[in-house]
Amino acid sequence: MAKLNINGKTLDVNAEPDTPLLWAIREQLGLTGTKYGCGVAQCGACTVYVDGEPVRSCSLPISAVNASQKIITIEGASGKIVEAVQKAWLEHDVPQCGYCQSGQILAAASLIKAKPTPSDEDINREMSNICRCGTYNRIRTAIKQAAAAVRGA
Amino acid sequence: MNALDFNRRTFLVGAGASAGGLTLGFSISDEALAQGATPEVNAWVVIRPDDTIVVRIGRQEMGQGTITGLAQLVAEELEADWAKVTYEYPTPGQNVARKRVWGDFATSGSRGIRNSEKAMREGAAAARMMLLQAAADEWKVPVAEVSVAKGVITHKGSNRSTTYGKVAGAAAKLTPPTNPPLKDPKTWTIAGKPLKRLAQDGKVNGKQVYSIDFQAPGLLNAAVKDCPIWGGSLKSFDAAAAEKMPGVKKVLKIENAVVVVADTWWRAKTALDAVKIEYDSGKSANLDSKAIDDMLNEGLTATEAFIGNQSGDVQAAIKGAARTVEATYSMPYQNHAPMEPMNATARWTADKCEVWTSTQNGEAALATTSQAAGLPLDKCEVYRMDLGGGFGRRATSQDYVRQSVLIAKEMPGQQIKLIWSREEDQLRGCYHPITKCKMTGSLDKDGNLTGLHMRISGQSILATIRPEALDKGRDPATFQGLNAGGAEGRLGYTIPNILVDHAMRNPPVRPGFWRGVNNNQNAIYLECFMDELAKEAGVDALEFRRKLMKDHPKHLAVLNAVAEKGGWGKPAEKGVFRGLAQHMGYGSYVAACAEVSVNDAGTLKVHRIVAATDCGHAVNPAQIERQIEGSFAYGLGAAMFQEITIKGGKVVEENFDSYPILRMDDMPAVESIIAPTGGFWGGVGEPTIFVAAPAVLNAIFAATGKRVRNMPIKNTDLRKA
Ligand code: FES
Ligand code: FES
């Protein structure tokens, strides 16, 4: 039985070691905010944080994560940056179907953490998550607003 | 193609309902009233004692904003307080039981609002009249003396007021008025405004539950591999290894599919990958993209073809022309690939079958459930769940619902969730149909267009998906946007001699309704060729079109609008070039002016697109803007790099690594001109997609001198010759 630290709790996970973290999160722990889109690290719908870094959980087996590493999913994401991003997302009415947005939000918060004043090029480079509904321009605007809010600008 | 796939006519017959059931002639069901303190004033409007207004919506939300728009229309006629408005989905089973009081659930063809607005506005207006009457009755004053604002009813004379929530119960008992008058859209205060969408919170905190997220105690999961060879079949499989794998409950054969049912989906999928499967290719062993191309090439010059639009004598015009121009274009198969792969949960018993799923057509899902379950409609139910995208995939075929029911039938009483892998979604799509088009135009000595022959060769969607809709073998939908008349999609040019015809060639790869449908290729073929003709005539592309558009003022108005805002005729930034396109479809007039650059390495950058739409009435301009942007992301991704190719009867591109999706770095700036002229209701979710690709293609020619005639663009070397 593997142990995972998810959203601040250490939980037992009854799954084979090669089970992708995504499916352990969704099926063993019942946290469905993290989405399956492609399973091959292409779309970013499955993005979670492992020790603060965004990872594509569909392509990370649970055997590669130990109980001391802190996994944060959209349900457990908090703090000034994530909240600023969520707020900006609502203000700009970003989501269409919304399916990709858990991943987009976590990716955006990481970007702002690394680049407090993200340029268009930074956004183009770092925001590689797929949105089939095409919310990209709203995401771009919302990232800039959230970043400004975090900077206190 | 599965013979049991849904078709609407079968459903209507099966449901014993009339298509014209959208009247106010419904009665309030005693059952609904008995359900407690939340009376429905009528089928569309439920008002809770706390004044919450619940709008019941038959159409489906999938990211396009339809529920918000419909709720705005209802709130408008109701004079409701928008802050108190929410919505719910009636189930398809309830719609059957109540003789289709909520009308058509199909959410495709950009008709979510335009084909529901009348019934819903009338329902809301009737509800308002009943609520006011109930208050007047209670106060014993003439109804003409009471007024309402934001759900608060007032009688000035006696200085009394009450709220909708308080009188809803009494209102529900009144006889609904017939033909309630509707507001003049010019007086709208809720509809027509750029309001935010309903139900957004769950989409930023992970709490929104899509059907793939469905959970229940004891739920099992299923993974499926259907025969990936179009026209092939399942020959044999060896499940010995899979059956011993952890969590596996059952390995099944469902028609041509192998299915593993396990405790979790990941275990089901892992075991399925361990099943050795053999297929029989049937006649498709040699079916590949080249063979399909040959089939279409033959159609380009075939003597027999279905006629879509004909006037004058195009052959004579071509013969007598000072100059002729000829070009052949092509459009490949493309997959919908919504972010949420197909999935459905089902539970079957001998006397009830229930399905939880995301579908663009709950009624079709119910009909499919009934057929697969072998149970009558009234013993089946479909619970509509939120969609992680539709784009036509979840409208074209309910094949995933059918599979889920057939699986559940093998394990009676057990709730089982079927999820397709991304690969399954790519392999078993309902693809944008494959077509080619030979364009021939004739010019007189002054460069006027005297004749146009547009020979389309290729696949009909209806022939496979809804054959009963063919007209003596002809697929009228093939000619979307090219018709001589009609309110849905009229050609915007007057050409003295014209022939648009279709040599139907149907490879065994399943086609489907893909956002924009046949308008997509028709707009590329026609609008790019218009540029070719203008060039040959030596006339500016806008001027060339204008001469042909005098009798088409609405088409022309949107074209003029984008030309002006896009800076047509004025110098662009260095290295940036422009292209134009216009088209009409789903009742709306759309145009685009694109700005692109192509660098020395041949890399295309789409900088900006100015778009205009005249959709008659704009119910929510903010959401229309988002649909314009979304349609461009979808359409440009397809134009730039998406193609489904076939080898050995099977789709080659199995995931996003080989089937690229447009991402942030390729998304252009979009400027929207929403210019509703009133008097008609056009669609919004699709129309602008038509013009994105041709405007970009025309701009690419301006930038490089290269005509890209075969989609996707990535297959053409754009480096300057
Ligand atoms: S599901 Fe993990 S990147 Fe797509
Ligand atoms: S909002 Fe639908 S996929 Fe991004």
* Residue to substitute from A25, A46, A87, A96, interface B, most B β-carbons within 10 A: A96
What does the buried/exposed string (b/e) look like for B622-646 if buried means 16 or more CB atoms within 10 Å of the residue's CB?
bbbbbbbbbbbbbbbbbbbbbbbbb
CB B269 within 8 A of CB A16: no
Chain A residues in contact with B334 by the CB 8 A cut-off are none
Mean pLDDT of A6-14: 96
- Mean pLDDT, rounded, for B120-132: 97
CA proximity to B700, closest of B691, B708, B690, B692: B708
Cβ contacts (< 8 Å) between A135 and chain B: which residues?
A: 626, 629-630
Confidence class for position B10, pLDDT limits 50, 70, 90: very low
Residue A19 near residue A29 (C-beta atoms within 8 A): no
Lookup: tokens for B87: 């919505």
Pairing state between β B45-47 and A70-72: unpaired
Answer whether B246 touches A (CB < 8 Å). yes
pLDDT greater than 60 at residue B27: no
Judged by CB atoms closer than 8 Å, whether chains meet at B62 and A136 is answered as no
Q: In angstroms, what is the span from residue B202 Cα to ligand 2's centroid?
A: 13
Interface contact flag, B204 A101, Cβ < 8 Å:
yes
Q: Which fold has domain B289-334+431-715?
A: Aldehyde Oxidoreductase; domain 4 (3.30.365)
Q: What pLDDT, on a 0 to 100 scale, did the predictor assign at position B9?
A: 29
% pLDDT > 70, chain B: 95
Put simply, whether B231 touches A (Cβ < 8 Å) is no
pLDDT of residue B440: 98
- The stretches of B420-567 forming alpha helices (DSSP H) are 422-427, 461-465, 519-537, 541-548, 553-566
Q: How far is the CA of A47 from the centre of ligand 2 (A)?
A: 14
Q: Please tell me the class of the A2-72 domain.
A: alpha beta
> In B, which residues are within 8 Å of A86 by CB distance?
204-205
Place of tokens 């996994």: A71
A134 vs B265, B340, B633: nearest CB = B633
Q: How far apart are CA A130 and CA A103, in angstroms?
A: 9
Q: What is the mean pLDDT of residues A48-59?
A: 98
Closest CA to B77 of B196, B198, B167, B177: B177
Confidence category of residue B641, pLDDT binned at 50, 70, 90: very high
The whole-number pLDDT of residue B16 equals: 28
Q: Does the Cβ of A130 fall within 6 Å of ligand 1?
A: no
Q: For this complex, say whether ipTM is above 0.90.
A: yes
Backbone angles phi, psi at B66, to 5 degrees: -60, -40
Domain with CATH 3.30.365.10 in chain B: 3-203, 211-282+342-419, 289-334+431-715
Cα radius of gyration rounded to whole Å, chain A: 15
Taking CA–CA distances from A134, the nearest residue in chain B reads B630
SS (H, E, C) B292-320: HHHHHHHHHHCCCCEEEEEECCHHHHHHC
Which of A21, A62, A130, A133 is the best mutation test for B, with the most CBs of B within 10 A?
A133
Q: Which B positions 278-307 lie with beta carbon below 8 A of chain A?
A: none
Predicted confidence at residue B11, as pLDDT, reads: 29
Flag if B629 and A134 touch (Cβ within 8 Å): yes
Question: What is the CA B438 to chain-centroid distance, rounded?
Answer: 27
pLDDT value of position B720: 78
> What average pLDDT does the structure give for chain B?
94
Closest ligand 1 atom to residue A42 Cα is 3
Distance, CA B425 to ligand 1 centroid (Å)? Answer: 14
SS3 label, residue B62: coil
A36 lines ligand 1 (CB under 6 A): yes
A130 → closest Cβ in B202, B205, B656: B656
- Residue contact A39–B655, C-beta within 8 A: yes
Q: Residue A128 CA: which ligand is closest?
A: 1
Q: How confident is the model at residue B35 (pLDDT cuts 50, 70, 90)?
A: very low
User: Which three-class secondary structure string do you get for B334-362?
Assistant: ECCCCCCCCEEEEEEECCEEEEEECCCCH
Q: Which one, of B106, B11, B12, B99, lies nearest residue B371 by Cα?
A: B11
Best mutation target among A97, A106, A126, A139 (most B Cβ atoms within 10 Å) is A97
Calculate how far, in angstroms, residue B3's C-alpha sits from the geometric centre of ligand 1.
34
Q: For position B5, what pLDDT does the model report? A: 34
Residues sharing a CB contact under 8 Å with residue B388, sequence separation 6 or more, in sequence order: A35, A97, A98, A99, B210, B212, B338, B339, B340, B358
Q: Which of B65, B215, B655 is nearest residue A42 as measured by Cβ atoms? A: B655
Pocket lining: A99 vs ligand 1, CB cutoff 6 Å: no
Cα–Cα distance measured from residue B372 to residue B560, given in angstroms and rounded to the nearest whole number:
52
Closest B-chain CA to A139: B664
Residue B202 sits at the chain A interface (C-beta within 8 Å) = yes
Q: Find, in chain A, the residue whose alpha carbon is nearest to that of B635.
A: A134
B663 contacts on A by Cβ (under 8 Å): 127-130, 136
- Per-residue model confidence as pLDDT tens digits over A97-153: 999 999 999 999 999 999 999 999 999 999 999 999 999 999 999 999 999 999 996
DSSP letter for B644, please.
Answer: B
pLDDT in tens, B447-465: 999 999 999 999 999 999 9
Give residue-wise pLDDT tens across range B314-361.
Answer: 999 999 999 999 999 999 999 999 999 999 999 999 999 999 999 999
What pLDDT, in 10s, does the model give residues B242-290?
999 999 999 999 999 999 999 999 999 999 999 999 999 999 999 999 9
Residue B15, pLDDT > 70, answer no
Residue B605: the pLDDT is: 98
Closest alpha carbon within chain B to A47 = B206
Distance from CA of B566 to the nearest CA of A (A): 19
CA of A37 to the centre of ligand 2 (A): 11
The pLDDT value recorded for residue B239 is 98
CB pairs under 8 A between A and B: 171
Paired tokens of A142: 């919302």
B523 contacts: CB under 8 Å, gap ≥ 6:
B481, B581, B583, B585, B690, B691, B693, B694
Residue B57: name the closest of B39, B75, B36, B43 by CA.
B43
Which amino acid belongs to residue A146? A
Alpha-carbon dihedral sign for residues B185, B189, B195, B198: negative
Distance of CA B542 to the CA centre of its chain: 30
Residue from A14, A18, A19, A36 to probe the interface with B (highest B Cβ count within 10 Å)? A36
| B479 close to B521: Cβ distance less than 8 angstroms | no
Specify the amino acid at residue B571.
Answer: P
Taking an 8 Å cut-off on Cβ atoms, the answer to whether B388 and A138 are in contact is no
A20-37: per-residue pLDDT in tens?
999 999 999 999 999 999
Q: Which CATH architecture has domain B211-282+342-419?
A: 2-Layer Sandwich (3.30)
Determine the average pLDDT of the residues in B85-113: 94
Q: What is the pLDDT of residues B174-229, one digit of tens each?
A: 999 999 999 999 999 999 999 999 999 999 999 999 999 999 999 999 999 999 99
Taking the Cβ of residue B337 and every Cβ of chain A, the question of whether any pair is shorter than 8 Å is answered with: yes
Helix (H) or strand (E) holding B607: strand B604-614
CATH topology of domain A80-151: DNA polymerase; domain 1 (1.10.150)
Q: What is the pLDDT of residues B643-674, one digit of tens each?
A: 999 999 999 999 999 999 999 999 999 999 99
Question: How far, in Å, are A10, B100, B350 from residue B353 at the CA level?
Answer: 39, 20, 8
Read off the pLDDT of residues B501-519 as tens digits, 9 standing for 90 and up. 999 999 999 999 999 999 9
Give pLDDT tens digits for B390-448.
Answer: 999 999 999 999 999 999 999 999 999 999 999 999 999 999 999 999 999 999 999 99
Neighbour tally for B140: CB within 10 Å: 7
| Closest of B418, B410, B401, B413 to residue B366, by C-alpha | B401
Nearest bound ligand to the CA of residue B391: 2
Calculate ∠ Cα B304-B307-B311, nearest 5°: 120
Give mean pLDDT, residues B463-481.
97
Closest in B386, B665, B670 to A124, CB measured: B665
- Of A23, A43, A134, Cβ closest to residue B265: A23
Segment B33-52 shows an average pLDDT of 81
- Enumerate residues 6+ apart whose C-beta is below 8 A from B153: B131, B132, B135, B146, B147, B161, B162, B163, B164, B167
Q: What is the pLDDT of residue B307?
A: 98
Ligand nearest to the CA of B337: 2
Collapse the DSSP code of B646 into the 3-class scheme (helix H, G, I; strand E, B; otherwise coil) and give the result: strand
Whether the CB of B389 is below 8 Å from some CB of chain A: the reply is yes
pLDDT at B38: 67
Q: Say yes or no: CB of residue A81 within 6 Å of ligand 1.
A: no
Rounded to a whole number of angstroms, the distance from the CA of A42 to the nearest CA of chain B is 6
d(CA A5, CA A76): 11
Pocket lining: A140 vs ligand 1, CB cutoff 6 Å: no
* Pocket of ligand 2 from Cβ distances under 6 Å: A 95-101, 131-133, 135; B 63, 339, 389
Which one, of B334, B306, B303, B717, lies nearest residue B518 by Cα?
B334
Q: Which residue has the tokens 């496979």?
A: B464
Secondary structure of chain A in HEC code, one letter for each residue: CEEEEECCEEEEECCCCCCEHHHHHHHHCCCCCCCCCCCCCCCCCCEEEECCEEEEHHHCEHHHCCCCCEEECCCCCCCHHHHHHHHHHHHCCCCCCCCCHHHHHHHHHHHHHHCCCCCHHHHHHHCCCCCCCCCHHHHHHHHHHHHHHHHCC
Q: Which of A89, A18, A123, A53 is nearest to B208 (CA)?
A: A89
CATH fold for domain B3-203: Aldehyde Oxidoreductase; domain 4 (3.30.365)
Q: Which residue is it, tokens 């005297």?
A: B450
> Helix B362-373 crosses helix B399-410 at what angle (to 10 degrees)?
30
Using CB atoms, pick whichever of A31, A42, A96 lies closest to residue B63.
A96
Q: How far is B63 from chain A (nearest CA, A)?
A: 4
- Which residues in chain A are contacts of B213 at CB distance < 8 A? 26, 32
**What pLDDT shows up at residue A153?**
67
Residue ranges of chain A assigned to CATH 1.10.150.120: 80-151
Of B388, B629, B661, the CB nearest to A99: B388
Question: Could you give the angle at which helices B66-78 and B117-139 cross, rounded to 10 degrees?
Answer: 30
Hey, of B60, B64, B204, B360, which one would you mutate to test binding to chain A, going by the most A CBs within 10 A of its CB? B204
Q: How far apart are CA B481 and CA B397, in angstroms?
A: 24
